[in-house]
Amino acid sequence: MHSLLLRWMKRLLMSLGALLLLATLLFIAGNLWVLASTSRYIDGHLEQCRPTDVAIVFGTSHWTRSGLRNPHFHARMRTSARLVADQRVQHLLLSGDNRTQAYNEPRAMWRDLYRRGVAADQLTMDFAGFSTYDTLVRARDVFQLQEALLVTQSWHLPRALFIGRALGMDVTGCIAEEQPAADEWRLRAREWVARIATVGDLYLWGREPYFLGPAEPIELRRSKDAREASEVLELDGVWLLQDRLESGRETQ
């Protein structure tokens, strides 16, 4: 009886060990898949970031839990403002959490960027960007974006790019450069888990965004100017036709 129990315990431990080894290998393989498939789409310096019409800026809290200024927030705002100032992007989609009236990431981003000199008509707020996944699905389906530059930290970009490309979007990443923070190791460790959850969201359990809503295509400044110019030309054409008709009546 005693030897039978020992054999059973040995088999159980071997099975648990095999499962643990398999889970570890899948965990590592999933992360390496995300990192390897997105590394070529990440630009390490702002001057190298690919020019495009719209950049998606991922939201985060303006303040840390200890009441200090959040360096991740300010790095994203600084990088985004530079992209607009350097004319590498024409418009910024500010996507973040606004579950309650007291917490509004997009509004905080809008105010900061406006103070940095970004014009109001170059900013669009998405109040339902509750997660990286929600932000990118809404960017594609609500704001009708097929191409975009993603602005966030280096540890977050691989997951964001992986989601965007899995959704069929042509996205590249621009790193929001900052000094290493004290909690960065914790954020990087959390990203390893989040990447595996992302693979599951995309390929296993078919996650849906929390809220979609009707389409709200982003209107770029230059397309707006072009439309206004075409309206002026059309109006000029009407006036020209009217002048010709009137001159024709006079000659009769």
Beta bridge partners of 93: 56, 124
pTM for the model stands at: 0.83
Per-residue pLDDT reduced to its tens digit, 44-71: 888 899 999 999 999 999 888 877 888 9
Helix axes 2-38, 157-166, angle to 10 degrees: 80
Q: How far apart are CA 192 and CA 2, in angstroms?
A: 43
Amino acid 44: pLDDT: 82
Per-residue pLDDT reduced to its tens digit, 97-149: 988 888 899 999 999 999 999 999 999 999 999 999 999 999 999 999 999 99
Answer yes or no: are the C-beta atoms of 145 and 50 closer than 8 Å. Answer: no
- Would you say residue 193 has pLDDT above 70? yes
Long-range Cβ pairs for the range 62-71 (8 Å, 24+)? 62/105, 62/108, 62/112, 71/178, 71/179, 71/181
> Side-chain half-sphere of 13: how many Cα atoms within 13 Å?
6
Q: Percentage of the chain surpassing pLDDT 90? A: 60
Give the pLDDT band (50/70/90) at residue 221. Answer: confident
Dihedral sign for Cα 87, 93, 98, 101, please: positive
- Would you say residue 233 has pLDDT above 50? no
